[in-house]
Chains A and B, each alone.
Chain A
Amino acid sequence: MTEVVTKDELGEAFAMFYGMAAAIGDMVEPAPEMDDAERVQRAKDTFLHGLDGTFALQLDVCVHCGACAEACQFYIGTEDPAYVPVRKLDLMKRVYQRELSPLRWLHRLTTPEITADDLRAQQTLVYDACTMCGRCNLVCPSGINISEMVHLNREALAAAGLMPDELRFMDDGQAADGTIFGADADLFRFRIEDLEQRLGFAIPVDKESADVLLVTSGLDIHLFRDATGGAIETLTHMGIDYTLLSDAYEGANFGLLSGDVKVQKELTRKLTEAAIRIGAKVVIVPECGHSFPALRWGAAESVGKPVPFDVMTVSEYFGRAVMDGRLTLEPQKHEKPIALHDPCKVGRWGGVFDEPRAILKACGYDLHETDSSRTYNFCCGGGAGNFLIERADPLKRAGYRVKMNEIEKTGAESLVVSCGSCRMNFEVGKVKAGDTMPVESLAAVIAAHLPKTPKEAAE
Chain B
Amino acid sequence: MTLLDFARGPALEWAAVIFVVGLFWRIGGLIFLARARPLSRNRRDDLWRGGWRMVWSRFVPNRVFRDRISLQFLAGWVWHVGFFVVLLMFEVHILFFEGLFGLSWPALPNTVILVAAAVTAGLLVMLLIRRATQPVLRAISGFDDYASVVVVLLPLLTGLASYAHLGLAYETMLALHLLSVALLLVWLPFSKLVHVITMLPSRYVMGVKFWRRGVEV
Contact = CB atoms under 8 A, between A and B. Distances in A.
Contacts of A137: 206, 210
Contact of A141 (B29, B41, B199): B199
A351 B139 contact: no
A307 B41 CA distance: 9
Interface stretch (B1-9, B177-185, B190-198): B190-198
B41 A87 contact: no
Interface in A36-69: 52-54, 56-58, 60-67, 69
A138 interface: yes
Nearest to B31: A53
B39 A53 contact: no
Contacts, number: 159
Interface in B5-44: 25-26, 28-36, 38-41, 43-44
Contacts of B62: 138-139, 376
Interface stretch (A174-182, A184-192, A291-299, A359-367): A291-299
Residue picked from B54, B195, B204, B206, most chain A C-beta under 10 Å: B206
B185 to A, nearest CB: 16
B140 A86 contact: yes
A145 B217 CA distance: 13
B100 interface: no
Contacts of A306: 39-41
Contacts of B41: 300, 306, 310
B203 A102 contact: no
A310 B205 CA distance: 25
Residue picked from A61, A137, A143, A145, most chain B C-beta under 10 Å: A143
B136 interface: yes
Nearest to A102: B29
Contact of A58 (B142, B194, B202): B202
Interface residues of B, number: 60
B26 A67 contact: no
Given A58-B205, A297-B40, A103 B190 contact: yes
Residue picked from A58, A66, A144, most chain B C-beta under 10 Å: A66
A353 to B, nearest CB: 8
Given A70-B68, A103-B190, A139-B69, A53 B136 contact: no
A113 interface: no
Contacts of A53: 30-35
A1 to B, nearest CB: 30
A57 B35 CA distance: 11
Contact of A296 (B28, B33, B40, B134): B40
Contact of A57 (B64, B201, B216): B201
A256 to B, nearest CB: 14
Given A70-B65, A350-B213, A375-B217, A145 B206 contact: yes
Given A52-B35, A102-B26, A297-B40, A143 B207 contact: yes
Contact of B136 (A61, A66, A103, A143): A66
A7 B35 CA distance: 50
Contacts of B203: 142-143
Contacts of A145: 205-206, 209
B202 A81 contact: no
B166 interface: no
Contact of B28 (A58, A70, A82, A102): A102
Given A82-B139, A84-B136, A371 B34 contact: no
A157 B77 CA distance: 38
A71 B192 CA distance: 22
Contacts of A265: none
B49 interface: no
A69 B137 CA distance: 10
A351 B41 CA distance: 13
B33 A139 contact: no
A348 B216 CA distance: 9
A375 B201 CA distance: 22
A201 interface: no
A378 B203 CA distance: 22
B202 A143 contact: yes
A375 B62 CA distance: 11
Given A139-B65, A143-B203, A376-B64, A64 B141 contact: yes
A89 B93 CA distance: 40
B137 A66 contact: yes
A142 B195 contact: yes
A69 B136 contact: yes
A349 B33 contact: no
A289 to B, nearest CB: 14
A315 B29 CA distance: 44
Contacts of B44: 351
B201 to A, nearest CB: 6
A300 B40 contact: yes
Interface string B38-67: 111101100000000010001101101100
B145 interface: yes
B76 interface: yes
Interface of B: 25-26, 28-36, 38-41, 43-44, 54, 58-59, 61-62, 64-65, 68-69, 72-73, 76, 134-143, 145, 190, 192, 194-195, 198-199, 201-207, 209-210, 213-217
Considering the complex of A and B, which 5 residue pairs feature the smallest CB-CB distances, nearest first? A351-B214, A102-B29, A53-B33, A143-B203, A143-B206
23 contacts: A52-B35, A57-B30, A57-B201, A58-B206, A67-B69, A67-B73, A70-B68, A71-B65, A84-B139, A102-B28, A103-B25, A138-B217, A141-B73, A142-B198, A296-B40, A301-B40, A306-B39, A349-B213, A349-B215, A350-B214, A350-B215, A371-B64, A372-B64
